[in-house]
Structure 1
Amino acid sequence: MKRSALLPRRRRTLLPGTLAAALAAALLSPGTAHAAVACSVDYDDSNDWGSGFTADITVTNEGGDPIPDWSVGWTFPGNQQVTNGWNGVFAQSGADVTVRHPSWNSTIAPGSSVSFGFQGAYSGSNDAPTSFTVNGAACGGPPGENTAPEVSLTSPADGTSFLVGDTVDLAADASDPDGGVDRVEFAADGEVLGTDTTAPYSLAWDGAAAGPYSLTATAYDDEDASTVSSPVDIQVLDSPAVLASPSTTRVRRGESTDFEVILSNPPSGTVTAEVERASGSADLSVSDGAELEFTSGNWDEPQAVTIASAANGGDLAEAVFTVSAPGHDPAEVTVREIDESTSAYDEAFLEQYEKIKDPASGYFRDFDGLLVPYHSVETMVVEAPDHGHQTTSEAFSYYLWLEAYYGRVTGDWGPLRDAWESMEAFIIPGTADQPTNGAYNPDSPATYIPEHPNSDGYPSALDPGVPTGSDPIADELSSTYGTDEVYGMHWLLDVDNVYGFGFCGDGTDDAPAYMNSYQRGSRESVWETVPHPSCEDFSFGDTNGYLELFTDDEGYAEQWRYTNAPDADARAVQVMFWAQQWAEEQGNEAEVAGMVDNAAKMGDYLRYAMFDKYFKEIGDCVGATACPGGSGKDSAHYLMSWYYAWGGALDTSAPWAFRIGSSASHQGYQNVLAAYALSQVPELQPESPTGVDDWSTSFDRQLEFLQWLQSAEGGLAGGATNSWGGGYGTPPSGLSQFYGMYYDWQPVWNDPPSNNWFGFQVWNMERVAQLYQVTGDPRAEAILDKWVPWAVEHTDVDADGGGADFRVPSDLEWSGQPDTWNGTYTGNPDLHVEVATRSQDVGVAASLAKTLLYYSERSGDTGALATGEGLLDALLAHQDAIGIATPEQPGWDRMDDPWDGEEGLYVPEGFSGTMPNGDAIEPGATFLSIRSFYEDDPLWPEVEAHLNDPENVEAPILERHRFWSQVEIATAFAAHDELFGAG
């Protein structure tokens, strides 16, 4: 189980030498006389993990005069040391700490507050300071406020193992700065085990079944304010075990590598563990640590085993070593050789690869040998998916990326074939999943349903009187591939069947299960969605399933429907372009040929993303009835739009089917490298009669689109739509156009605005940079020549501080609009972007690094290369046991919001249904109330405490391991070696 504790923030680091220098500067500064100070200080160090902590400090000016040039001081009662801080200039001498104002926040106005924080380390106790000064004057605590109690779980230790039948002794320290502790509640995975009302607080837990557990203690004070401790992870085992870490390791040919061994539990006597090669090459052997002796005194002290590689050439060797001991379950460690010439960055790739693929890390679920990637290791994740153990077509495309680079580095293409097989098995709907495509009529692709800006505009009525165009590619696809089925990924999958929809709504535990969300307009945030099965057979919801939430119809039919995210399918094509190139360089092109053919086929169907939603004519399409349906290709905008979708009846005796494109295109979904591959690389050109021509047009159109959207500063604005407001409405007067489509700074997704996230910039520009590196295309070069300096300007890499600190753009703000496109980039003097915030998003940092590496390899820009390498090195400084991550603090405040007329979860009057687990779907429901399973999540007690008292209880800070981010990091390391070799 991944620990989901309150983990330390990492801000710009002040190393000890810097702290000393800052203190010296403070002591040497001349004193300044100020007016008398009246102040209060709130010191929150509840984020404590036993050897370190973070503290947030708020200083309030309680007087009537401003406090200029503020400086806060205190003395630690223990041996606490500040290791880094933020929003202030920190200095420490012994136990004394001084925090001076930053240059941008020097004055505290009357009645106002300033906040800063730090990360610290300690041993022993971590008692809070008892007094504070501001500019030399003593301050009190927050007046008139109850301070929440402090609590830490002191036993058992994190990572402890127990045997079934053992008593797990829990203990906690708790105190209340302004009152008394009423009780301490102990819990495992959020389930309360018991309560103790007197100190020392403890509980004996008997009867724990085998499995991993996350333990917490919650302290309640005499006013019922509460604080949840940082979790402690333990394991309950059926029998004693030998534990070895890591379970997979690499060794350079001719060198040696170590792994470590401990026992899970203290033995009753001396236990000798023996290490031997169980299978594999004799070129790998135990050179030290073949016998390890453990006792009750050293059973949990790691002992090293050294595996040596023989430098005798030939194929790279692999072997499995078993560590066994009497009365203990054995451990296995796989050791693989790497070539002597493997670069440091390729080594970093392989280490990251092994962490991602290690079953113990938790990135995949194994279905009879086929792996399905989770969206994230952690479960309580609400972003595009609303649960971490869902997965997306995006994650599958990144799974392909991971294995393609593995094939480049190792020459082994088997894992890539496994990934493609898993994609076909689980996220490309098969014949049974789309049974009535044969009834599809290309001359009547779908019945028009207008979109609405907010959820309360739904259900939306079907309007058969609105003209739609004809689908010009359906017949040629059916003829070319001998089937009426669509070969494309559905975007969302419930891997663990958490919702309980099961296959085709049958509610079984058969997983993964196709599901969907986001069906109600551009303002429907993830917090406002009602998840529903892709196969709607009315098993759940109300009498008509979930359909009455979305469409207003005279009658409802049981149906299936799927939605494709074009950027994911395009990324799969992009991956196979590189796989084909790398395999051909190795002489292994036959090993990937079948997948390359299927990627070309996927690209053929991906053309559905090039068409208006209802196949209406492109350009000046205003008025749903007035805008005519298209014929031939005049309904094609040739861009990668937000989606395409297809569906039909479940009843094969009364079949019907539909297909739609999308009228809106976002810059972040464009993939010029995939368009180049599908139009100009023979192995990837589609087989259909017009597929290559369409992709050739799309290649040029996408490059033009990016030029049109490039701001005066260099960032790329949102996109364009052929259907203003989703209903072919009248756009604002004077709005600029691209081939007759209207500029939209936030196409499709408005909550939050779809182009505010910098990640969409780097996802797109990585593809442009790869195209430029491969072809030298002058249009790609011109876009990059402007974008790269803008991105680098707003990126910080703290090389002088050891390389760990970095900042990349996060939130963007837009103003103005581009000039109407006339075929030439004008510089767009009226279109502007500002970087509003920056972050330590590891996935975005890796994407940016890859972009800069590909650009610099072709252009020779040494500054871009230095920034890209600096980001890679900074990422390496944030490694943990299962990947690379930095702390973040997600927001949960919309979790329990019902519809308030503007936002919240909207359920129309008259709808009364249930989720598969019985949660009620009715007016007044909230995100949480229809997802009560979240109350069983290990993170829930901390989130609940915050929701109950958001003013005093901070939302949890945690590290997350998103699959796409971890793969982006791994492939960034491998890309450096690909482009620059061992140098």
Structure 2
Amino acid sequence: MQTSRRSLKRITQAVTTAVLAMATGHAMAEDAELATQFEKRFSAQYKKIKDPANGYFSPEGIPYHSPETLMVEAPDYGHETTSEAYSFWLWLEAYHGRQTGDWAPLKKAWANMEKYMIPSAADQPTNAFYNAAKPASYAGEHPLPKDYPSQLEFGVPVGQDPIGTELETAYGTRNIYGMHWLMDVDNWYGYGKCGDGVTRASLINTFQRGAQESVWETVPHPSCDTFRWGRNGGTQGFLSLFTADSNYAKQWRYTNAPDADARAVEAVYWANVWAKAQGKGAEVADLVKSAAKMGDYLRYSMFDKYFKKVGNCVGGPYNCQAGTGQPNGQGFRDNQHYLLSWYYAWGGANDTNAGWAWRIGSSHNHFGYQNPMAAWVLSTNAEFKPKSASGQADWGKSLTRQLEFYRWLQSAEGGIAGGATNSWGGSYETPPNGTATFYGMFYDEKPVYHDPASNTWFGFQAWSMFRVAEYYHATGDAKAKAVLDKWIPWASKNVRFKDDGSYTIPSTMEWSGQPDNWNPNAPGANAGLHVKVTKRNADVGITAALARTLIYYGAKANDAAAKTLAKRLLDAMWTNAKDAKGLAVPEKREDYLRFDDAYDANTGSGVYVPGGWVGTNAQGATIDANSTFLSLRPKYKQDPDWPKLQAYLNGGAAPTWKYHRFWAQADAAMAMLDYAMLIETPW
């Protein structure tokens, strides 16, 4: 009897083991099939983006902001491009290399970016005259476009630039290695390259006049101003719309969007990881060096705009002290906030015989631009170590400061609030009593721009928190996890699924209150800082960014709910938004009524041009006090979609568009491969 019991036990154990093995094998087979499905989605989306018939790229191989041309948001025309689009292109090609082992497209993308989006030596010809002891002359920022031009004040003390000389020593040049943010790919405006009027892929700018200047109030102008266009008379170009001076010189000037350059570093990091795993690290080695170099120059975004002291810099521009650039007892420079601010910029004279050059950082810091992943790579990875003397250490300090910034700005609900400024009102004014502080900088609910308020867009939440999740996944840092542990449930509960299979995610938010004063030793609970979701949509790009955040967090924290929600979102997006060009959903653009808005002095809406200021642009439009967004861009009336918009301006119903923004298409593709990688590898 005893022998029979033992035999029965063995049989039972054997059957159980067999059943478990079958179940495990079945689950593994299902996982493999699911991973293959998501890999196929990536491939399908990638092919659509790269298909010339879909119009994502120019004849020069430059990625358009969108293949659709009638498009107004930050870029004011769809066939412009941005450093943002370039960074997503690099990232997309890194994912393609991971899947196929083919790294040639990534190398081609970086070369294209270097050729067109990073100003060449000829495009920034007078950097040799740059004086790091006086980086730039001061001109204050003002609330409204009507407060411009801003007077240049040469007597205002400005601080020392502590990295200019070390960058020159490291790289043997005074030229800046960073992307300008905006390009007129098709030369639609007609400025050409440095005033030639014909060369395509010309660098331009729009925003220049304070936080209230939305895209609808901008006056587009060339980055290299030769006075061929602008104010009549040929002695000022466009300059006198922005700065007031007794004499104007023909000049070049560029503005960097730090989040894009940081994203480029991020992309090359992953390319290096994956290429080395394939035994092909040598194929991307030069890109690694270039990305580290870009990160070295990106540190200009970590400085106060005029290199003034960071912290309690109030009382006006004359009272706020100039920074020395010297480190304090903890090794932090007195004019460096160590965050990724809204921009850095540089410029100089066209005339090399009477040369001068300038550089500025930015005093305004938005949480949405931070990138702890790039900071970690540049501060800890030997292959990405910047060549400059202090580059690696600066990025290490930036990593710490960025993580603190997120924690300081996290609302009671979990969403991340706006940011902080070292220059209240853009002119180092004194903020209201009781304004919360972060290392002496002041809480700003809507840093940089107010129309619409910069922190109402949920996209910044998904973009930035993905980078936190990516960093957490790579390092397991408990500080990053603590922020995500609160953000993920808040974002997740604000996703809505409908019975028909469609869904919505947050699109617009409202904020109230402010954070507690920052104490790194005892962070506050921010019980008085609140966020409320007010509008929802199914935006493709932000859905992808949210799903990617859930994927990376879910994989590291082993959070089944996050992983399940990510898959559900990606499935719903693929089902509901797929079309011949990629993924897109209809968008009702009621804001397009602003195309022909005249300037309203009471509201500040419309294009402001000072009385008596009269000029022309390269589309042949008159620039004067009667200008509108449309009158400055008469070529819009030649657009294939113009009749649809004209009907709306004539009183018809608000039209809808389907836009295939390059960054959104790339993000959606990468989200699919992220999910496949989550299944294939336990991470």
Normalised by the size of structure 1, how large is the TM-score? 0.64
Corresponding residue for 1:539? Answer: 228
Distance 2:267 2:153 in 1: 41
Q: 2:203 aligns with which of 489, 508, 514?
A: 514
Secondary structure of residue in 2 paired with 1:366: coil
Deviation at 1:898, TM superposition (A): 1.8
Q: CA 1:818–1:455 in 2, change beyond 3 Å: closer, same or farther? A: same
Distance 1:947 1:852 in 2: 41
Secondary structure of residue in 1 paired with 2:137: coil
Contact map agreement 1:341 1:982 (CA 8 A) in 2: no
Corresponding residue for 2:260? Answer: 568
Contact map agreement 1:797 1:867 (CA 8 A) in 2: no
Corresponding residue for 2:38? Answer: 345
- Structure showing greater radius of gyration is 1
Alignment of 1:519-918 (within 5 A): 519-542=208-231, 543=234, 544-622=236-314, 623-632=316-325, 633-798=333-498, 801=500, 803=501, 805-823=502-520, 824-877=522-575, 878-890=577-589, 891-901=591-601, 902-918=604-620
Distance 1:351 1:775 in 2: 32
Gaps of 5+ in 2: 1-31, 326-332
Q: CA 1:770–1:691 in 2, change beyond 3 Å: closer, same or farther? A: same
Alignment of 1:54-69 (within 5 A): none
Secondary structure of residue in 2 paired with 1:822: coil
Deviation at 1:979, TM superposition (A): 2.1
Secondary structure of residue in 1 paired with 2:58: strand
Contact map agreement 2:225 2:250 (CA 8 A) in 1: yes
Distance 1:451 1:651 in 2: 27
CA deviations on 1:855-886 (whole Å, 9 max, x unpaired) are 00001111111111011101111211110111
CA deviations on 1:222-281 (whole Å, 9 max, x unpaired) are xxxxxxxxxxxxxxxxxxxxxxxxxxxxxxxxxxxxxxxxxxxxxxxxxxxxxxxxxxxx
Corresponding residue for 2:136? Answer: 446
Corresponding residue for 2:669? Answer: 970
Deviation at 1:688, TM superposition (A): 0.6
The amino acid of 1:922's aligned partner reads D
Gaps of 5+ in 1: 1-338
Distance 1:779 1:698 in 2: 14
Aligned CA RMSD, in angstroms, stands at 1.2
Deviation at 1:893, TM superposition (A): 1.3
Q: Which one has a larger percent strand, Structure 1 or Structure 2?
A: 1
Secondary structure of residue in 2 paired with 1:409: helix
Distance 2:547 2:555 in 1: 12
Secondary structure of residue in 1 paired with 2:594: coil
Structure 1 stretch displaced more, 579-588 or 462-471? 579-588
How many residues align? The count is: 635
Deviation at 1:982, TM superposition (A): 8.5
Contact map agreement 2:517 2:524 (CA 8 A) in 1: no
Which segments of structure 1 move beyond 3 Å, counting only runs of 4 or more? 339-342
Corresponding residue for 2:680? Answer: 981
Secondary structure of residue in 2 paired with 1:648: strand
**Is 1:937 paired with 2:639?**
yes
Deviation at 1:797, TM superposition (A): 3.3
Distance 2:660 2:183 in 1: 18
Distance 2:302 2:497 in 1: 39
Deviation at 1:909, TM superposition (A): 1.0
Secondary structure of residue in 1 paired with 2:389: coil
Corresponding residue for 2:26? Answer: none
Distance 2:227 2:41 in 1: 50
Contact map agreement 2:128 2:174 (CA 8 A) in 1: yes
Distance 2:339 2:455 in 1: 17
Contact map agreement 1:454 1:521 (CA 8 A) in 2: yes
Distance 1:498 1:912 in 2: 22
The amino acid of 1:817's aligned partner reads Q
Alignment of 1:162-181 (within 5 A): none
Deviation at 1:668, TM superposition (A): 0.2
Corresponding residue for 1:409? Answer: 99
Distance 1:450 1:650 in 2: 24
Corresponding residue for 1:76? Answer: none
Normalised by the size of structure 2, how large is the TM-score? 0.92
Contact map agreement 1:376 1:963 (CA 8 A) in 2: yes
Percent identity of paired positions between Structure 1 and Structure 2 = 56
Distance 1:729 1:627 in 2: 9
Contact map agreement 1:807 1:839 (CA 8 A) in 2: yes
Contact map agreement 2:34 2:676 (CA 8 A) in 1: no
Deviation at 1:826, TM superposition (A): 1.9
Corresponding residue for 1:173? Answer: none
Contact map agreement 2:588 2:656 (CA 8 A) in 1: yes
Deviation at 1:402, TM superposition (A): 0.8
Distance 2:523 2:184 in 1: 44
Deviation at 1:340, TM superposition (A): 9.7
CA deviations on 1:121-163 (whole Å, 9 max, x unpaired) are xxxxxxxxxxxxxxxxxxxxxxxxxxxxxxxxxxxxxxxxxxx
Contact map agreement 1:758 1:810 (CA 8 A) in 2: yes
Contact map agreement 1:343 1:981 (CA 8 A) in 2: no
Corresponding residue for 2:658? Answer: 959
The amino acid of 2:525's aligned partner reads G
Deviation at 1:740, TM superposition (A): 0.1
**Is 1:922 paired with 2:624?**
yes
Distance 1:977 1:475 in 2: 46
Distance 1:825 1:968 in 2: 34
Contact map agreement 1:618 1:741 (CA 8 A) in 2: yes
Q: CA 1:880–1:489 in 2, change beyond 3 Å: closer, same or farther? A: same
**Is 1:362 paired with 2:55?**
yes
Deviation at 1:342, TM superposition (A): 6.4
CA deviations on 1:16-62 (whole Å, 9 max, x unpaired) are xxxxxxxxxxxxxxxxxxxxxxxxxxxxxxxxxxxxxxxxxxxxxxx
CA deviations on 1:804-847 (whole Å, 9 max, x unpaired) are x0101000100000000001332200000000111010100000
Deviation at 1:483, TM superposition (A): 0.5
Higher relative contact order, chain-length normalized (CA < 8 Å, sep 6+): 2
CA deviations on 1:327-362 (whole Å, 9 max, x unpaired) are xxxxxxxxxxxx999611111000000000000000
Distance 2:532 2:451 in 1: 19
Structure 1 stretch displaced more, 895-904 or 925-934? 895-904
Secondary structure of residue in 1 paired with 2:352: coil
Contact map agreement 1:436 1:652 (CA 8 A) in 2: yes
Distance 1:979 1:479 in 2: 43
Q: Which one has a larger percent helix, Structure 1 or Structure 2?
A: 2
**Is 1:431 paired with 2:121?**
yes
Deviation at 1:648, TM superposition (A): 0.1
Deviation at 1:796, TM superposition (A): 1.8
Distance 2:455 2:571 in 1: 28
The amino acid of 1:581's aligned partner reads V
Secondary structure of residue in 1 paired with 2:596: coil
Alignment of 1:241-280 (within 5 A): none
Distance 1:717 1:358 in 2: 39
The amino acid of 1:809's aligned partner reads P
